[in-house]
Amino acid sequence: MKQYIPPPKRTLRKNVAPTILANQFLYHEFLKIFRDIKRHDFRRLLKKSINNFIKRDGLHHYWLLVSAIAEGWRVKSVYRLLTDPSYKWRLEVRNINNLTMTGFNPIQVDKIIHSCHRKFYDFAEYYHHHPTFFKKFMPNLQSRPERDHHPVFVFFDKHEHTLRLFDGMRRTTLAAIAGRKTIRAYVGYPVRHGKPMINLDKVQFLKHLATKAPRNKKMFDAFVSVGREMIKSSSNGREALLSTLKPWSDDFTKKFIHAVLKK
């Protein structure tokens, strides 16, 4: 059965490389991290450096950086989705009422999102009726002219059959609060089978847990199952396992890798 995806208001670009989205994501996050730098040429130099990162340091280190910021710093799905070859990305003008909210911090705000059924305009209505609540819990919900003009990130969730926002919640929420009907968005469509990449720190963390766990067969087999699932569900799982754990480093690691890779 074919999945229904609401049509865009307008398509601006049919094929967008995932690195275009990743570059924008890095640019936004570094602007937040180094927001104390007021030099007028900082943004221009930062954008230029990010755009040259792959040429300068290679694609492997580029995706390591995206993963470190997306998963280690921001806890977002950016790395997982942009390294998943099953998605094809387009730049579109999207109706905001077709988009699904994800989450905001703190938890009090997430509860409101849930009660609004993850609808932007329902959330915007609540915002207008409860200004004191948002002044207390979301004082940073305000415009950022240096990055608000950039498209937000959306993907079609194959499990929930919704267009889910995964970067740009503040921008889209402010647009809904202002009464805007549309927003520019990079939208990921599932067009083929594929697997996302897994970052090396996940493998290292798995080993850390395994070495600290009680040494019994049941526990060992449980960690082996997780290792096999990492390989099964990610495009670089085997490579990440071997490059991170280094089978010659100690007897436990050698035994663990052998068990995970065993047919």
104 near 110, Cβ under 8 Å?
yes
Which comes out higher in pLDDT, residue 188 or 210? 188
Token pair in block for residue 236 = 């670089």
Tell me what pLDDT residue 1 has: 47
Buried b / exposed e along 242-252 (16+ C-beta atoms within 10 A): eebbeeeeeee
Q: What's the pLDDT tens digit per position in 133-187?
A: 999 999 989 999 999 999 999 999 988 899 999 999 999 999 999 999 999 999 9
Average pLDDT, the chain: 92
Least reliable range by pLDDT among 25-29, 63-67, 178-182, 205-209: 205-209
Q: Is residue 217 classed as helix, strand or coil in its secondary structure?
A: helix
Report DSSP letters for 89-114, one per residue.
EEEEEEEGGGEE----SSHHHHHHHH
Parallel/antiparallel/unpaired status of strands 87-95 and 10-16: antiparallel
What percent of the chain is helix, strand and coil (3-state, nearest 5)? 55, 15, 30
CA 174-179-183 angle, 5° bins? 65
Mean pLDDT across 51-72: 95
Confidence of residue 23 (pLDDT cuts 50, 70, 90): very high
At 185 the three-state DSSP class reads strand
Tokens of 85: 């070859």
Question: Taking a C-beta distance cutoff of 8 angstroms, is the pair 261, 238 a contact?
Answer: yes
Q: What angle do CA 154, 185, 93 make, to 5 degrees?
A: 130
pLDDT digits (tens, 9 = 90+) for 191-228: 988 899 998 888 888 888 888 888 888 998 999 999 99
The position carrying tokens 């799905």 is 77
Stated pTM of the model: 0.88
Phi-psi region of 168 (alpha: psi -120 to 50; beta: other; left: phi over 0): left
Instruction: Say which residue, 189 or 199, is predicted with more confidence.
Output: 189
Task: Return the pLDDT at 81.
Answer: 96
